[in-house]
């Protein structure tokens, strides 16, 4: 047999009622990827000629995801006949009639099954000369699983489901994972002989094993120690349990590749995240989607990065970043929100309580404190003072602001877009800027201060404020009188 399978059939037709969800079970996610997405990736790692998904429940949603995720997938529809045997039969009908070689059968709700395990199954299946091989495991409590009944020669004689098992068969601890390798021709012929005379009234795929064994063919068991790879998701409790195990494995992989994760129990990392060597991930951090982090960076604590790129040596603390780019040796946070379209250049800074969106912040530029920067280009080395607001929305449309290189925006400035501030320019603190500023100019856009004497006494008479003002004035008057008297005495 060829060590590369001819096809992988992924069964994803079940209703998944125990999830109690409007979302199809196989589209629930762990590690940033749907359950069926994990199954498709593992199947593709076998290099099979065909990878197929069999669907029925919520077909449109499942097919839309699967074909978007992998446009080369074959899609097959299961009809009203129930059971895994019928699902595989429908899958075979959608593949070429002359298909030869090994056919793998897996499931859309078994997310920890790896491509490596599937390749090992194919290799063992080919080496044994079997027409069918089933992945099995020994468990201390086999309740609920189909049991593996061995033949005298050590091969698999049959698989009996829990509800159909006799008392002595229930004591068997070797269980059926439901993951198989079959010879395509034998599988097709045996499925034609499978009926529905069982406790569930379903067409069992497990019956193929007994049919093949009775016909004198060899059926083998491929025993694995990693039981999590055989675990399926039936409800949200199991979804969380497998998600936790997957996350632990992802964290371990990164740590073995040279990443320091201070507390893996409070660190969540999606499957597609990449992290460079000597980066440190601090507690209560989540790295999601296609996030990419360079070498020697420090991320956390309390950081959420979604589809964000972080350069070498950068530091992000107590921040949320979505679809953002953070340059090498730049710093972000604490308590900052980088929204989509934010690009922070090398050695730049986005400081505390800053929100950015569609903001291109040049190398070495600083937005240190209490600022909203939306729809803005900030040049290299520019400094944006505390409390600056880029007023980019006029109620109808968004407008853009450009801040030149090495320019300086004073604290508590409102820049009413669209405005261009030239290179090396200044804007005075407290300005409300509505016009362009040329290179080298300073713009002062604020009203002249006017102090109205006696306003509190007239407008707030009898209040604590009025009392405090009167006391201060009287104290000031006494001090003036005392100073004047002292001066006269000294003159004498």
Catalytic residues: 369
Angle, in degrees to the nearest 10, between helices 184-191 and 207-214:
110
| Angle, vertex CA 430, rays to CA 426 and CA 436, nearest 5 | 45
Q: How would you class 72 by CB atoms within 10 Å of its CB: exposed for 0-12, middle for 13-18, buried for 19 or more? A: exposed
Give dist(CA 269, CA 39) in Å, integer.
19
CA atoms of 337 and 354, how far apart (whole Å): 6
Residue 65 sits at φ, ψ, to 5 deg, of: -65, -50
- Give the Å distances, CA to CA, from 442 to 151, 296, 367, 403, 465: 91, 40, 19, 13, 38
Q: Are 16 and 34 in contact (CB under 8 A)?
A: no
**CA distances, 292 to each of 277, 307, 363, 436 (Å):** 12, 8, 20, 38
**Residue 115 main-chain phi, psi, to 5 deg:** -60, -35
Q: Return left, alpha or beta for 439; rule: phi > 0 is left, psi -120 to 50 is alpha, else beta.
A: beta
For the chain, the C-alpha Rg in angstroms (whole number) is 35
Q: What share of the chain is helix, strand, coil (3-state, %, to 5)?
A: 25, 30, 45
């Amino acid at each position: 047999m060829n060590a590369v399978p001819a096809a992988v059939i992924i069964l994803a037709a079940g209703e998944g009622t125990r999830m109690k969800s409007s979302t199809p079970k196989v589209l629930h996610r762990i590690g940033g990827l749907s359950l069926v997405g994990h199954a498709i990736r593992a199947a593709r790692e076998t290099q099979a000629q065909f990878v197929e998904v069999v669907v029925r429940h919520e077909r449109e949603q499942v097919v839309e995801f699967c074909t978007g995720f992998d446009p080369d997938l074959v899609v097959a529809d299961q009809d009203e006949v129930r059971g895994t045997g019928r699902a595989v039969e429908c899958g075979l009908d959608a593949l070429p009639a002359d298909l030869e070689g090994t056919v793998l059968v897996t499931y859309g709700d078994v997310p920890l099954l790896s491509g490596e395990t599937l390749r090992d199954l194919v290799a063992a299946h080919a080496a044994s000369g079997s027409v069918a091989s089933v992945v099995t495991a020994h468990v201390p409590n086999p309740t609920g699983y189909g049991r593996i009944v061995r033949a005298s020669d050590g091969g698999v004689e049959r698989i009996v489901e829990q509800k159909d098992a006799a008392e002595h068969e229930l004591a068997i601890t070797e269980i059926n994972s439901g993951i198989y390798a079959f010879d395509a021709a034998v599988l097709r012929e045996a499925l034609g002989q499978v009926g529905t005379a069982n406790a569930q009234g379903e067409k069992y795929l497990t019956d193929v094993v007994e049919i093949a064994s009775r016909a004198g063919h060899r059926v083998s068991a491929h025993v694995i120690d990693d039981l999590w790879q055989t675990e399926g998701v039936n409800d949200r409790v199991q979804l969380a349990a497998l998600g936790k195990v997957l996350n632990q494995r992802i964290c371990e992989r990164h740590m073995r590749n040279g990443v320091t994760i201070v507390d893996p129990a409070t660190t969540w990392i999606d499957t597609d995240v990449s992290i460079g060597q000597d980066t440190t991930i601090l507690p209560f951090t989540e790295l999601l989607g296609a996030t990419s982090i360079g070498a020697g960076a420090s991320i956390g604590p309390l950081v959420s990065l979604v589809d964000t790129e972080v350069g070498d040596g950068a530091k992000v603390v107590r921040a949320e970043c979505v679809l953002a780019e953070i340059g090498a040796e730049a710093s972000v946070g604490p308590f900052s929100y980088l929204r989509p379209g934010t690009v922070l250049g090398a050695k730049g800074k986005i400081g505390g309580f800053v929100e950015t969106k569609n903001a291109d912040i040049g190398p070495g530029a600083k937005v240190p404190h209490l600022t909203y920067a939306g729809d803005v280009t900030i040049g290299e080395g520019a400094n944006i003072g505390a409390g600056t607001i880029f007023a980019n929305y006029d109620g109808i449309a968004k407008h853009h602001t450009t801040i030149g290189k090495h320019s300086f925006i004073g604290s508590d400035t409102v820049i009413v877009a669209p405005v261009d501030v030239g290179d090396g320019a200044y804007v005075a603190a407290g300005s409300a800027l509505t016009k362009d500023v040329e290179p080298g100019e300073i713009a002062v856009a604020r009203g002249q201060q006017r102090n109205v004497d006696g306003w509190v006494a007239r407008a707030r008479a009898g209040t604590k404020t009025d009392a405090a003002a009167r006391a201060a004035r009287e104290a000031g008057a006494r001090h003036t009188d005392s100073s004047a008297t002292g001066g006269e005495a000294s003159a004498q």
